Chain A
Amino acid sequence: MFATVTLTLFGGFLQTIKLFLLTLLFSLPLGLLICFGSMSNVRMIKVPVRFVIWVIRGTPLMLQLLVMYYGPGIILGVNIWGSGDTGRFVAALVAFVINYSCYFSEIYRGGIQSIPVGQYEAGEVLGMTRSQIFFKIVLLQVIKRIVPPVSNEIITLVKDTSLARVIAVYEIIWEGQSFIKSAGIIWPLFYTGVFYLLFSGLLTLLFGRIEKRLSYFR
């Protein structure tokens, strides 16, 4: 039984990890784009971007998942996500990407704005271009500063993926819960926690190493 449960949960966990990795893959760079938008000098860009960030950060992710999945069907009258498991997975992914991009963008913004103007000015008087200043001077300092908050957010994402079950994406908790009905046992549901713990433990180690790699300067 234990082996069967482990195997089934592992299947669900693969789905969880898939959602996790794809969300990171898209939201980490998209966050940078949103970040530049939110710092833009053009009001027509800055105001709408800040509005979207406000909405996304001000409402529950669970609600955003529901709106993302059912919204287009209600408003447009067609299910743009397609039918079946894939459609639900894609809808969940889009909702996660938008949500996490907004959070990442705010972390990036904080990081970029925390770099003293003196760093930019020193680069300028040395005849460096704007992009040289960003890539050769500012970027690594920003990365160093945002590693702790970003890793926090990423570990939160590991656990947040479980919310995808509200639109019936069969991630690990869904699988764990299914044993209650099918076999009348509840321990598989609790057992899912072990998977989360191991995975976030692994991530914690990884981020610790990155922080250490960047500790050679201040």
Chain B
Amino acid sequence: MPILEVKNLKKSFDNTGVLDDISFSMEEGQVVTIIGSSGSGKTTLLRCLNFLETPDEGIIKVRDDVLFDSRDPGTCSEAERRRKRLHFGLVFQSFNLFPQYTALENITLAPSLLAKEDGSIDASGIRNRAVRLLEQMGLSDRMGNYPHELSGGQQQRVAIARALALDPDILCFDEPTSALDPELTGEVLKVILSLAEKNTTMIIVTHEMSFAHDVSDEIIFMDKGIIAEQGTPEEVIDNPKNERTIQFLSNYNKGNA
């Protein structure tokens, strides 16, 4: 059974279609990478999965749980969103850490609030887990620092730990290294690779082609709101068939040369 199923997802802004009939599915432990030129709808797709945008049409299913079905108004209610979005985690391009909290507090804030609502007050459990996550990110010596005292790469790793702390089924990344200086992208990509090795289910939007090649089980090439080509890295990156994919990758290679 696929962990995620997206069916016929459509989204437009002011009558301009941005996502036009997107369907795909992925298995638990898989890494799917989305590539495509600017404006093709990659961010919008991730935002729909995380309920930051409401799709106009379509179905989003995690395991057997229908999280969203445009034809079933019951699944679209504001009140239910909160619980449903916890199936997903999202790492933003611009980190969006909370500046008034330390690295550790950034991670424990949301789990503590949720635990309080559930009536369990396992503060030390939440803290220990956050400490472990930061260690895993290579930040054991930065736990008490505030975001402005951290480099971009360190901030992004805190943001990844923050998303992981809620145990999402699927962790989404929207160009996690685009806001970083080139010398800092490596440390973030390394962390994501290590998550892939631990079979973390991830959807990654990135422009780092060689990283995408290494980390992904599947590549989705998006063009103008549709999935133009989909397959293994060998198929899509090494031997693209679609005209637009070929063009996109050759532009990309030119830019890199």
B99, A124: Cβ atoms under 8 Å? no
Looking at the complex, which one of A123, A125, A128, A218 makes contact with B99 (CB distance below 8 Å)? A218
A137 interfacial by beta-carbon distance below 8 Å: yes
Chain B: minimal CB distance from A151 (Å): 20
A118, B94: Cβ atoms under 8 Å? yes
B113, A136: Cβ atoms under 8 Å? yes
A217, B96: Cβ atoms under 8 Å? no
Looking at the complex, which one of B99, B110, B113 makes contact with A141 (CB distance below 8 Å)? B99
Chain A: minimal CB distance from B124 (Å): 20
Given the contacts A121-B52, A141-B99, A141-B100, A127 and B82 also touching, CB distance less than 8 Å: yes
Q: Which A residues are in CB contact (< 8 Å) with B166?
A: 126-127
B92 interfacial by beta-carbon distance below 8 Å: yes
Chain B: minimal CB distance from A107 (Å): 20
A33 interfacial by beta-carbon distance below 8 Å: no
B113, A128: Cβ atoms under 8 Å? yes
**Alpha-carbon distance between A132 and B113 when the two chains are bound, in angstroms:** 8
B211 interfacial by beta-carbon distance below 8 Å: no
A129 interfacial by beta-carbon distance below 8 Å: yes
B50 interfacial by beta-carbon distance below 8 Å: yes
**Alpha-carbon distance between A216 and B100 when the two chains are bound, in angstroms:** 8
A127, B94: Cβ atoms under 8 Å? no
B48 interfacial by beta-carbon distance below 8 Å: no
Chain A: minimal CB distance from B85 (Å): 6
Contacts of A135-184 to chain B: CB distance below 8 A:
136-137, 140-141, 144
**Alpha-carbon distance between A51 and B101 when the two chains are bound, in angstroms:** 38
**Alpha-carbon distance between A42 and B94 when the two chains are bound, in angstroms:** 32
Q: Can you name the residue of chain B whose Cβ is closest to the Cβ of A214? A: B100
A55 interfacial by beta-carbon distance below 8 Å: no
B90 interfacial by beta-carbon distance below 8 Å: yes
Q: Which A residues are in CB contact (< 8 Å) with B90?
A: 125
A86 interfacial by beta-carbon distance below 8 Å: no
B88 interfacial by beta-carbon distance below 8 Å: yes
Looking at the complex, which one of A125, A128, A218 makes contact with B50 (CB distance below 8 Å)? A125
B96, A124: Cβ atoms under 8 Å? no
Looking at the complex, which one of B52, B109, B114 makes contact with A136 (CB distance below 8 Å)? B109
With A124-B51, A128-B110 given, can you name 18 additional A-B contacts, CB distance below 8 Å? A116-B96, A118-B94, A119-B96, A119-B98, A122-B92, A122-B98, A127-B82, A127-B85, A128-B113, A132-B113, A136-B113, A140-B100, A144-B100, A216-B100, A217-B100, A217-B146, A217-B147, A218-B99
* 27 pairs of residues in contact across A and B, judged by CB atoms under 8 Å: A118-B92, A118-B96, A119-B98, A121-B52, A124-B51, A124-B52, A124-B85, A125-B50, A125-B85, A125-B90, A125-B163, A126-B109, A126-B110, A126-B162, A126-B166, A127-B85, A127-B114, A127-B166, A128-B113, A136-B109, A217-B99, A217-B100, A217-B146, A217-B147, A218-B146, A218-B147, A218-B148
